Structure 1
Amino acid sequence: MMDWGPVLVSLVLFVLLSPGLLFQVPGHHRCIEFGNFKTSGASIFIHSLLYFGLICVFLLVVKLHLRLGS
């Protein structure tokens, strides 16, 4: 059996935590900006830390698994 949980969690978090897509921390004019489709080096760093932390929580602590196949 193949475990698709880590793949799907990684994909969803990558899309949702792309800087500037839904939100950007830190923003250009405010601390948090929503949907501005812009990014910066600091924003990429903060979003990658958020991504790493959430991946660790979902895969190591929660142990999310999705098994597909026969």
Structure 2
Amino acid sequence: MADWAPVLIGVLLFVLLSPGLLFQLPGKGRAVEFNNMQTSGVSICVHTIIFFGLITILLVAVGISINIG
């Protein structure tokens, strides 16, 4: 049986944490900007660190597992 949790959680977090899609941290003019569809190198690094932290917590510390089949 395959564990689908890493795939589903990874895709969900990737979509939600894409810089500029829902929010951008840090923004170009303010600390946090919402739905501006722009990005910067610093914003990409911050969102990458947030993504890594959340996926590590959810998959390793909490141990979420989704088995299909």
Instruction: Give the TM-score band, short-chain normalised.
Output: over 0.9
- Give the paired residue count: 69
Give 2:60's aligned amino acid.
L
TM-score, normalising length: structure 2: 0.97
1:35 maps to what in 2?
35
Task: Give the superposed CA RMSD.
Answer: 0.5
CA distance in 2: counterparts of 1:2 and 1:36, whole angstroms = 38
Task: In structure 1, list runs of 5 or more residues that go unmatched.
Answer: none
Moved over 6 A (4+): none
Task: In structure 2, list runs of 5 or more residues that go unmatched.
Answer: none
Give 2:44's aligned amino acid.
I
CA distance in 1: counterparts of 2:10 and 2:65, whole angstroms = 12
Identity %: 54
Q: CA deviation at 1:12?
A: 0.3
TM-score, normalising length: structure 1: 0.96
CA distance in 1: counterparts of 2:3 and 2:18, whole angstroms = 25
